[in-house]
Amino acid sequence: MTHHVHNGTVDTGARDHDPLDPDDVFLQEPELDAKGRPVLTAAQRKKRRWKIIRRSLYAFVGLFIVIPAIAFVITYFSVDVPSPQSVASTQSQAVTYLYADGSPMGKDVPSGGNRQILTSQQIPDIVKHAVIATEDASFETNSGFDVTGILRAVYNQVTGGSGGGSTISQQYIKKATDNDAPTLTRKWTELAKSFKMNQTYEKQDIITAYLNIIYFGRGAYGIGAASQAFFHKDVSQLDYSQAALLAGLIQQPGRSENTKVATGRWNTALDRMLQNHYITQQQRASAQFPTPISLADSKGDSGAPYSFISDQVRLEMTQHGIPDDKYYSGGYTVQTTIDKKAQDAAQQAATDVLKDQVDDRLLDALVAIDPKTGGVLAYYGGPVTVDVNGQKQAARDWADTPQNPGSSMKAYDLTAFLKMGNGINKTFDGSNNRVFDGRKVRNAGPSSSCSTQCTVAEAMMRSANTVFYDMVLNVTHQVPVEQAAQEAGVRTTSDGGKSEISTKDNNISLGGGDTRITPADMAAGYSTFAANGVQRDRHFVLKVTNAQNEIAYEATPSAGKPAFAGDADLSKQIAGNVTKALKPVIDFSHLKCPPGHDCAGKTGTQQHTKRANEPAWSADANAQTWMVGYTPSVSVAAWVGADGDQNLHGKNNSPIFGSTIAGPLWQKFMTAYLAGKPSEKFDDVPLIGEAAPPSDGPSDTNTPPPDNQGDPTTPPTNTGDQPTGDPGNNPNQPSRTPKPPKHSQTNGPTDSGGPPNPGNQ
């Protein structure tokens, strides 16, 4: 309250109209304005103005400097900066595939595009300078953000101009966190992270990290992928003009194929490189626009490897500590066991054998394995896509799909038999239409039957069903056959594989019923015979390196293990006796081994089960056919069949057999792959068991089809000895005995469903 003096008397009851400083006390009645307020002097007014300004400045500093500074410090200590290493580990990068000899196979590119993480030393300075000049000229000196750039960006937004104020550090944070929300909170946090990053990491680390994740167009993330996508060059080979184009495209990667835009951005980059003294005036004047390779060629360079191979590789990498969720994160290069010559031969042969077939349901697969290492040399599981109602869909990998192996299972029957000390010269009744426990077992025609004193060796050559059904039912029993197959390398569902071997009935002896094995497993199993009884695990991967060229996994050469006995010599003897029995099958089936090489193998056929609405010829049709064979250096399983139990046929509705399509597929591959390779012979081993009995002389039923009866790829005209009706429940059913097929051993059919069916070959 102000005390006013009236004629020397202090008035304490007067009310203040406007608060004044102590200096404003009047000793006499002041002059009042129209509103009754005291009129201030000039000095008083000046003093009051400065007071208001001073207080406003305090408020401004507090509001716009002190409080933001405190908030920035708090934010600085609360945020985590994504390190270049952590970002690299989470970025999806292409996986590069190599053949066994180190030549390129292709790239498995993630859905987000191709990426390649490089070290600072792998990126030349001219590339770094081009990007710095184009994107953030003050990069070397700023603290993660550029105040003038921010003000320029604000001005451009207000005036409708273009151009941002983000530094390279800010762009990195934006890409690394995958957060581009147009909010003040995001921008504020980005500034704090950018500043903190520049206090934490060297500039070389920051520009390298940025160049590894930024998008350039053509699906290329990072300078390494961009260098390949635009110029088919390693980044170390880029010149300043090419570097300028890539740097310019960072602003407009989506228009990289627009020549006018690309040229404009290239010129901008060069001008800024000149301004920043990264190139000379002479270099600027002489620069020529570096025309990129065509987009089609760019895509071809990063073409994906055969997807069924990459699927198998991914599965194997998971088993070796590189799980599926890390597959795209390491910038991995995978050197596979695949031999380019073998893979090309497999795909060509698989295409050729189906080219002239009349049944468009036919499918095929082929797997080749090196018995000396266990490495997969070739892997073909059919086309990777199928057309369904005009739409492309992913196809099934038929090389990894279990199928009834038919008579190719007899090699494991024999292995179990030999392990018991029995030999290939032991005799059985090989005649046709034998009855076991009330069930009639048939051979596949005269050429598949032999005498009542038929050796196991001859029965294998002829594929006499009655002998092997008898052998497993009455001598080895079913479980030892399953064990022999697993010891050879067949991976069943019980040990993480896909193949199934059923011991619930004797159908296992002829490879029917619930016994189903993948072509990959058949190739692996027979490779153990080729390797003299030494089993080595099937594998696709030789070595895996990461983006820093560090070894992430490397396969060690496998000495293998004796498969069929604890003693290596005995295991070799057993495998060698199997080979002795399988060698004659090649000629008997009218197949040819490449000159200079020993071959052994076995065909197999699984019969189709005729349905009520199908034509009469379906009763003789087959659904699965095989040829599995080997030399000392390669084991190959060839399968030709269909999706499920189909009544497959050749010309004039004739049935197909293992020796009529699968056999030629095997032969075509062997001929192409082994061409020019050194001659090889199987090791000779002592026979197990007794010597061969004296011959009773040839008979008509023991004579194989003559070799001069035409092209072995021509399908036979009948299925062999297969009665109509239920083949397993009526032992008195009369059997038909048609003529044997003209061009091959007749691969007798079996049922693929219902009760155990002993009519397989």
Going by DSSP bridges, is the β-strand pair 427-428/385-388 parallel, antiparallel, or unpaired?
unpaired
- pLDDT tens-digit readout, 396-425: 999 999 999 999 999 999 999 999 999 999
Residues with Cβ within 8 Å of 110's Cβ and at least 6 positions away in sequence, in order, are: 92, 93, 94, 328
CA proximity to 418, closest of 451, 450, 448, 456:
456
Q: How far apart are CA 216 and CA 211, in angstroms?
A: 10
In 3-state terms the chain splits into helix, strand, coil percentages (rounded to 5) of 40, 15, 45
At 753, list the tokens: 């469903």
Tell me how far CA of residue 415 lies from CA of 125, 226, 268, 371, 421, in angstroms. 65, 56, 75, 18, 10
The CATH number of domain 86-92+112-299, selected from 1.20.140.10, 3.40.50.10190, 1.10.3810.10, 3.40.50.720: 1.10.3810.10
pLDDT value of residue 697: 42
**With contact defined as beta carbons under 8 Å apart, do 626 and 601 qualify?**
no
Q: How far apart are CA 478 and CA 22, in angstroms?
A: 115
pLDDT value of residue 713: 30
pLDDT value of residue 737: 32
Helices (H) and strands (E) in the chain, counts: 22, 23
Q: How confident is the model at residue 752 (pLDDT cuts 50, 70, 90)?
A: very low
At 23, list the tokens: 């200096």
- Determine phi and psi for 32, rounding to 5 degrees: -110, 150
- pLDDT tens-digit readout, 62-118: 555 655 656 545 655 555 666 666 666 667 788 999 999 999 999 898 876 777 788
Q: Which of 169-178, 549-558, 668-677 has the lowest mean pLDDT?
A: 169-178
Which ranges constitute the DSSP H helices of 214-306? 223-231, 240-249, 259-275, 281-286, 295-301
pLDDT value of residue 376: 98
pLDDT value of residue 74: 60
pLDDT value of residue 407: 95
Residues with Cβ within 8 Å of 25's Cβ and at least 6 positions away in sequence, in order, are: 2, 3
Strand-pairing partners, residue 516, are 500
Q: Which contiguous run of DSSP H or E holds residue 588? A: helix 568-588
The DSSP call for residue 540 is -
Q: How far apart are CA 39 and CA 320, in angstroms?
A: 92
535-544, 723-732, 738-747, range with greatest mean pLDDT: 535-544
Q: Which of 451-465, 561-575, 655-669 has the lowest mean pLDDT?
A: 655-669
Going by DSSP bridges, is the β-strand pair 561-562/534-535 parallel, antiparallel, or unpaired?
antiparallel
Q: How far apart are CA 321 and CA 552, in angstroms?
A: 9
Q: Higher model confidence: residue 720 or residue 147?
A: 147
CA angle, residues 742, 744, 750, in degrees to nearest 5: 105
At 558, list the tokens: 């496998």
At 592, list the tokens: 């040819």
3-state helix/strand/coil string of 507-533? HHHHCCCCCEECHHHHHHHHHHHHCCC
Q: How confident is the model at residue 740 (pLDDT cuts 50, 70, 90)?
A: very low
Q: Which residue has the tokens 């030393």?
A: 121
Please check the confidence at residue 131 and state whether its pLDDT lies above 60.
yes
- pLDDT tens-digit readout, 632-658: 999 999 999 988 888 888 888 888 887
State the average pLDDT over residues 235-255.
94
**With contact defined as beta carbons under 8 Å apart, do 605 and 712 qualify?**
no
Going by DSSP bridges, is the β-strand pair 363-369/634-641 parallel, antiparallel, or unpaired?
antiparallel
- Determine phi and psi for 524, rounding to 5 degrees: -65, -40
CA proximity to 554, closest of 350, 299, 390, 317:
317
pLDDT value of residue 506: 97
Q: Which residue has the tokens 């990069």?
A: 139
- Determine phi and psi for 241, rounding to 5 degrees: -70, -40
Long-range CB contact pairs, 338-341, < 8 A, 24+:
338/99, 338/100, 338/105, 338/309, 338/376, 338/377, 338/378, 338/379, 338/540, 339/99, 339/100, 339/101, 339/377, 339/378, 339/673, 340/99, 340/100, 340/101, 340/103, 340/105, 341/672, 341/673
Strand-pairing partners, residue 562, are 534
pLDDT value of residue 480: 98
- Determine phi and psi for 288, rounding to 5 degrees: -115, 140
- Judged on CB neighbours under 10 Å (0-12, 13-18, 19+), 16 is exposed
Q: How confident is the model at residue 234 (pLDDT cuts 50, 70, 90)?
A: very high
Q: Higher model confidence: residue 53 or residue 387?
A: 53
Q: Which of 188-192, 354-358, 634-638 has the lowest mean pLDDT?
A: 188-192
Residue 702, helix vs strand vs coil: helix
Q: How far apart are CA 588 and CA 461, in angstroms?
A: 7
pLDDT value of residue 758: 42
- pLDDT tens-digit readout, 24-75: 554 556 677 676 777 777 787 777 778 778 777 766 665 556 556 565 456 5
The one-letter amino acid at 211 = L
State the average pLDDT over residues 132-139.
88
Residues with Cβ within 8 Å of 464's Cβ and at least 6 positions away in sequence, in order, are: 430, 443, 448, 449, 450, 454, 458
- Judged on CB neighbours under 10 Å (0-12, 13-18, 19+), 65 is exposed
Q: How confident is the model at residue 579 (pLDDT cuts 50, 70, 90)?
A: very high
**With contact defined as beta carbons under 8 Å apart, do 478 and 506 qualify?**
yes
Q: Higher model confidence: residue 123 or residue 9?
A: 123
Q: How far apart are CA 283 and CA 319, in angstroms?
A: 53
14-28, 198-212, 522-536, 713-727, range with greatest mean pLDDT: 522-536
pLDDT value of residue 401: 96
pLDDT value of residue 749: 37
Q: Which of 140-149, 261-270, 283-292, 623-632 has the lowest mean pLDDT?
A: 140-149
CA proximity to 110, closest of 130, 96, 124:
96
Q: Higher model confidence: residue 616 or residue 40?
A: 616
Please check the confidence at residue 488 and state whether its pLDDT lies above 60.
yes
Residue 141, helix vs strand vs coil: coil
CA proximity to 378, closest of 520, 558, 495:
520
Strand-pairing partners, residue 551, are 545
Q: How far apart are CA 22 and CA 383, in angstroms?
A: 98
State the average pLDDT over residues 205-212.
88
State the average pLDDT over residues 108-137.
88
- pLDDT tens-digit readout, 434-446: 999 999 999 987 7
The one-letter amino acid at 69 = A
Q: How many CB atoms are closer than 10 A to CB 355?
A: 7
Going by DSSP bridges, is the β-strand pair 454-455/427-428 parallel, antiparallel, or unpaired?
antiparallel
Q: Which of 146-150, 507-511, 607-611, 719-723 has the lowest mean pLDDT?
A: 719-723
At 687, list the tokens: 């026979």
Residues annotated catalytic, as ranges: 135, 407
Please check the confidence at residue 626 and state whether its pLDDT lies above 90.
yes
Q: Higher model confidence: residue 194 or residue 529?
A: 529
CATH superfamily of 406-674: DD-peptidase/beta-lactamase superfamily (3.40.710.10)
At 260, list the tokens: 């006018």
Please check the confidence at residue 133 and state whether its pLDDT lies above 90.
yes
pLDDT value of residue 365: 97
State the average pLDDT over residues 391-396.
79
At 489, list the tokens: 């390398």
State the average pLDDT over residues 589-607.
94
**With contact defined as beta carbons under 8 Å apart, do 524 and 490 qualify?**
yes
Q: How confident is the model at residue 476 (pLDDT cuts 50, 70, 90)?
A: very high
**With contact defined as beta carbons under 8 Å apart, do 385 and 394 qualify?**
yes
**DSSP calls for 358-401:** S-TT-EEEEEEE-TTT-BEEEEE-S-SEEEETTEEEEPP-GGGS
CA proximity to 721, closest of 465, 471, 470:
465
Q: How confident is the model at residue 181 (pLDDT cuts 50, 70, 90)?
A: low
Going by DSSP bridges, is the β-strand pair 634-641/215-217 parallel, antiparallel, or unpaired?
unpaired
Going by DSSP bridges, is the β-strand pair 561-562/4-6 parallel, antiparallel, or unpaired?
unpaired
At 549, list the tokens: 């060229």
The one-letter amino acid at 306 = Y
- Percentage with pLDDT > 90 across the chain: 51
Q: How confident is the model at residue 743 (pLDDT cuts 50, 70, 90)?
A: very low
Going by DSSP bridges, is the β-strand pair 622-631/634-641 parallel, antiparallel, or unpaired?
antiparallel
State the average pLDDT over residues 143-151.
54
- Percentage with pLDDT > 70 across the chain: 74
Q: How confident is the model at residue 430 (pLDDT cuts 50, 70, 90)?
A: very high
At 491, list the tokens: 């991976």
pLDDT value of residue 294: 86
Q: Which of 185-199, 371-385, 386-400, 676-690 has the lowest mean pLDDT?
A: 185-199
Please check the confidence at residue 718 and state whether its pLDDT lies above 60.
no
CA-based torsion, 237, 239, 243, 245: positive or negative: negative
Please check the confidence at residue 700 and state whether its pLDDT lies above 70.
no
73-77, 84-88, 134-138, 305-309, range with greatest mean pLDDT: 305-309
Domain boundaries defined on the chain: 86-92+112-299, 406-674
Q: Which of 70-84, 500-514, 550-564 has the lowest mean pLDDT?
A: 70-84
Q: How far apart are CA 462 and CA 428, in angstroms?
A: 13
Q: How far apart are CA 193 and CA 200, in angstroms?
A: 10
- Determine phi and psi for 457, rounding to 5 degrees: -60, -45
Cα R_g (the chain), whole angstroms: 41
Going by DSSP bridges, is the β-strand pair 333-336/95-98 parallel, antiparallel, or unpaired?
parallel
Q: How confident is the model at residue 297 (pLDDT cuts 50, 70, 90)?
A: confident
